[in-house]
C-alpha cells in the first residue's frame, strides 16, 4: 500500500468519525426531506403559479393568496370546522376524561372489557367508520329509518343541513373517544401511589383526589389531546367526503377546507389554488396549535 493510500484511508476514517452521527439520523432525514420538506416546498412553489386549461402555466406571485383572502367559500368552510372544533372537541375530551377516570377509579367491574370496548372504534379505519355510520343514518334503509318508522314520525334527520355537523361530530367522537381516553388513562397510571396514600391519610374523598391530584397530573396529557384534536378538526375530510354521496346537497364541495382543496385540484384542475388553500390552512393550524401549547404549558408551570 502506498503512503498516499494510507493517508487517504486515515483521513477517510476521521471524516467517517465526524459523519457517524449523520449516518445514524440519515434514515430519519431521508424520510423527513422526502416526505415533508420536499412536498411543502413544492406546494409553496405551486402556490405562486397559475396553470390554466387554455394558456398554460405562468407566475402570478401572491395573486392566489390575495384571492384566497377574499374567497367566501374558503372562509365559510373554515368557519364550519371552527364551529365543529369549538363544540365537538370539548365534548369528546370531557367524555374521554370521564371514561379514563372511571377506569382508573378501580370501582368498575370488567374494567379491561370497557377499556377495549371504548378503544375499539379507533381501530376501525375512518373510511369504514363513515360507511357504517352512513348506513346507520340512512333515513329509509338504515337504523334511523327503522327508528322513525317505529315512532311514526321523522324525528331523526341526520342528513339535513341543521343536523349534518352534529351527525359528523357524533362519528368523530365515536372514533376518537377511545384514543383520547387511552392518553388520559396512561397519564393517570404514572401518578405515584404514594400521592393517593397521602391524600387518603389527609382525609381526601374521591372527588377531592380527582380535583387535587388527578386533574393536575393530566394537564400535560389534556394539552396534547387538545392539540391533536384541533389538528384533526381542521383536517376533517373522510367523514364528510364519504357522507357526501348520501347527502349531496347538504355537504358541498367546500364543506371543509380539506374537501375544498381536494375538489379544487381533482375536479377543477386548480392545483395551484388548491396548494394555496393547503398552505394557509397549515399555517392557521400550526399557529392555533402553538398558542394552545404555550398557554397549556404556562398553566402547567404555574
Partner 1 sequence: MHKRLRTIVGAALTTVAVTAALAGCSSSTGGTGGGGGNADQVDAALKAGGTLTYWSWTPSGAAQVAAFEKAYPKVKVKLVNAGTGNDEYTKLQNAVKAGSGAPDVAQVEYFALPQFALADSLTDLSQYGFDDLKSKYTSGTWGSVDLDGKLYGLPQDSGPMAMFYNKTLFDKYSIAVPKTWDEYIAAAKKLHKADPSAYINSDTGDAGFTTSMIWQAGGRPFKVDGTKVTVNLQDEGTKKWADTWNELVENKLLAQTPGFTDDWYKQLAGGEIATQISGAWFPGVIESGAKGGSGDWAVAPIPTYDGKTAVTAENGGGAQVVMKQSKNQALAAGFVKWLNSSDGSVNTFLASGGFPSTTATLTSSDFLATKPDYFSKQPINEVLKGASDSVASGWQYLPFQVYANSIYADTVGQSYANFSDINTGLKAWQSALVKYGNEQGFTVSAK
Residue ranges binding partner 1 (CB under 8 A): 27-28, 30-31, 34-35, 52-55, 135, 138-142, 145, 161, 245-250, 252-254, 263, 266-270
Shortest separation between residue 221's beta carbon and partner 1, angstroms: 21
Kindly tell me which of 193 and 245 has the beta carbon lying closer to partner 1: 245
Is 218 within 8 Å of 185 (Cβ atoms)?
no
Kindly tell me which of 50 and 115 has the beta carbon lying closer to partner 1: 50
Kindly tell me which of 142 and 226 has the beta carbon lying closer to partner 1: 142
Shortest separation between residue 113's beta carbon and partner 1, angstroms: 30
Shortest separation between residue 88's beta carbon and partner 1, angstroms: 23
Shortest separation between residue 258's beta carbon and partner 1, angstroms: 16
Using DSSP, state whether 232 is helix, strand or coil: helix
Shortest separation between residue 161's beta carbon and partner 1, angstroms: 7
Kindly tell me which of 213 and 277 has the beta carbon lying closer to partner 1: 277
- C-alpha dihedral sign at 61, 62, 68, 70: negative
Is 177 within 8 Å of 203 (Cβ atoms)?
no
Kindly tell me which of 124 and 131 has the beta carbon lying closer to partner 1: 131
Residue with the three cell numbers 386548480? 270
- The torsion of the CA quartet 248, 254, 259, 265, rounded to 10 degrees, works out to 110
Shortest separation between residue 127's beta carbon and partner 1, angstroms: 15
Question: What interhelical angle do 164-189 and 215-234 show, nearest 10?
Answer: 140
Is 129 within 8 Å of 121 (Cβ atoms)?
yes
Q: b/e map of 37-75 (b: 16 or more CB within 10 Å)? A: eeeeeebeebbbbbeeeeeeeeebeebbeeebeebeebe
Kindly tell me which of 29 and 94 has the beta carbon lying closer to partner 1: 29
Contacts of 266 (CB under 8 A, 6+ apart): none
Is 181 within 8 Å of 100 (Cβ atoms)?
yes
Kindly tell me which of 148 and 293 has the beta carbon lying closer to partner 1: 148
Shortest separation between residue 61's beta carbon and partner 1, angstroms: 16
Amino acid at each position: 500500500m502506498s503512503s498516499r493510500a494510507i493517508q487517504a484511508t486515515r483521513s477517510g476514517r476521521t471524516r467517517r468519525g465526524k459523519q457517524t452521527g449523520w449516518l445514524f439520523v440519515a434514515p430519519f432525514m431521508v424520510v423527513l426531506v422526502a416526505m415533508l420538506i420536499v412536498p411543502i416546498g413544492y406546494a409553496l412553489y405551486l402556490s405562486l403559479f397559475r396553470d390554466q386549461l387554455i394558456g398554460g402555466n405562468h407566475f402570478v406571485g401572491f395573486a392566489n393568496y390575495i384571492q384566497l383572502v377574499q374567497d367566501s367559500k374558503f372562509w365559510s368552510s373554515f368557519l364550519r370546522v371552527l364551529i365543529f372544533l369549538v363544540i365537538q372537541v370539548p365534548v369528546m375530551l370531557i367524555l374521554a376524561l370521564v371514561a379514563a377516570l372511571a377506569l382508573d377509579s378501580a370501582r368498575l367491574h370488567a374494567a379491561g372489557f370497557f377499556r377495549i370496548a371504548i378503544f375499539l372504534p379507533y381501530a376501525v379505519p375512518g373510511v369504514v367508520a363513515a360507511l357504517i355510520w352512513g348506513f346507520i343514518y340512512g333515513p329509509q334503509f338504515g337504523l334511523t329509518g327503522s327508528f322513525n318508522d317505529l315512532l311514526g314520525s321523522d324525528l331523526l334527520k341526520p342528513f339535513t343541513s341543521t343536523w349534518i355537523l352534529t351527525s359528523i361530530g357524533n362519528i368523530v367522537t365515536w372514533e376518537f373517544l377511545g384514543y383520547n381516553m387511552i392518553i388520559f388513562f396512561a397519564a393517570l397510571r404514572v401518578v405515584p401511589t404514594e400521592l393517593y396514600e397521602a391524600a387518603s391519610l389527609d382525609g381526601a374523598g374521591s372527588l377531592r383526589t380527582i380535583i387535587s391530584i388527578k386533574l393536575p397530573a393530566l394537564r400535560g396529557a389534556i394539552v396534547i389531546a387538545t392539540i391533536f384534536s384541533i389538528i384533526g378538526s381542521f383536517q376533517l375530510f373522510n367523514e364528510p367526503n364519504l357522507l357526501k354521496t348520501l347527502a349531496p346537497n347538504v355537504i358541498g364541495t367546500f364543506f371543509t377546507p380539506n374537501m375544498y382543496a381536494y375538489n379544487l385540484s381533482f375536479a377543477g384542475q386548480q392545483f395551484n389554488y388548491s396548494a394555496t388553500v393547503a398552505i394557509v390552512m397549515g399555517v392557521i393550524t400550526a399557529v392555533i396549535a402553538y398558542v394552545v401549547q404555550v398557554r397549556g404549558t404556562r398553566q402547567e408551570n404555574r
